[in-house]
A and B are shown apart, each in its own frame.
Chain A
Amino acid sequence: SYLLTQPPSVSVAPGTTATIPCGGNNIGANSVHWYQQMPGQAPLLVVYDDDDRPSGIPERFSGSNSGNTATLTITRVEAGDEADYYCQVWDSRSDHWVFGGGTKLTVL
């Protein structure tokens, strides 16, 4: 089955840029979606189809996808961005959704 790999944690200072990678075999051939989950809350879609943002999501959130790595980038990081972030793809071979293991973003 298809696997997505994320680092367990990423730490950045406020005002800097956070990059959260999501690795997968030839993931660039898939569309990748990203979710933010605050403690005790339901996930929230922040980026879909590699690099599109739902309405209401700040422009500070962006995505890219090429080769074996997709990346969620958060510029001008704020304390309120501290959360778990998950990548997700639809695997056409199995007709299954696959989630990465999640990355905890800590704002120092």
Chain B
Amino acid sequence: EVQLLESGGGLVQPGGSLRLSCAASGFTFSSSAMSWVRQAPGKGLEWVATITGSGGSTSYADSVKGRFTISRDNSKNTLYLQMTSLRAEDTAVYYCGKDDGYSDSSGPVTSWVDYWGQGTLVTVSS
């Protein structure tokens, strides 16, 4: 059974930093790309970042690029999101997700989240 358990959320002041973790089990972690998706209170889903299975490639939403860093430790089956220079608008529930998708001869075709964690709340406020 695939399980994803986020931790590390909490209250942080504007300009502060926080590191989220996502402990994974039930699948071959190093073979799966992983993503973070967030949801501000009462709002919709917003993609934050994605990392390949090896950790060699990452991509970020424009809203967090240069402030957030996605990484992984395949020896610990754990995904991370290092968040710096936090702003009030970063307040949200942060979900980690196991990605699935496929490629063809031209490269990646599509990807999606096939399993989600339960989320961890990050509140940025003074």
Q: Which of A21-73 contact B (CB under 8 A)?
A: 30-31, 33, 35, 37, 41-45, 48-49, 54
Q: Report yes or no: A101 in contact with B100, Cβ–Cβ below 8 A.
A: no
A90 x B108 contact (CB < 8 A): yes
Hey, which bits of chain B sit against chain A, CB under 8 A? 35, 37, 44-47, 50, 59, 61-62, 95, 100-101, 108-119
**What residues of chain B lie closer than 8 Å to A98, measured between beta carbons?**
47
For A42, list chain B residues within 8 Å (CB). 95, 116-119
Q: Residues of A within 8 Å of B, CB-based: how many?
A: 28
Determine if B59 and A48 form an interchain contact, defined as CB atoms under 8 angstroms apart.
no
Q: Which 9 residue pairs of A and B lie closest in terms of their CB atoms, listed nearest first?
A: A97-B47, A31-B110, A33-B112, A42-B116, A102-B44, A99-B45, A95-B59, A90-B110, A101-B44
With known contacts A96-B47, A96-B61, A102-B44, A90–B111 Cβ distance under 8 A: yes
Q: How far is the CA of A67 from the CA of B64 in the complex (A)?
A: 32
B59, A96: Cβ atoms closer than 8 Å: yes
A45-B111 CB under 8 A given contacts A90-B101, A99-B44: no
Chain B residue at minimal CB-CB distance from A6: B44
- Give, as a whole number of angstroms, the nearest-CB distance from B78 to chain A: 18
The 26 sampled A-B contact pairs (Cβ below 8 Å) are: A1-B62, A31-B109, A33-B110, A33-B112, A35-B45, A41-B118, A42-B116, A43-B45, A43-B113, A43-B116, A45-B115, A49-B112, A84-B44, A88-B45, A89-B110, A90-B101, A90-B110, A96-B59, A97-B37, A97-B111, A99-B37, A99-B44, A99-B46, A99-B47, A100-B44, A102-B45
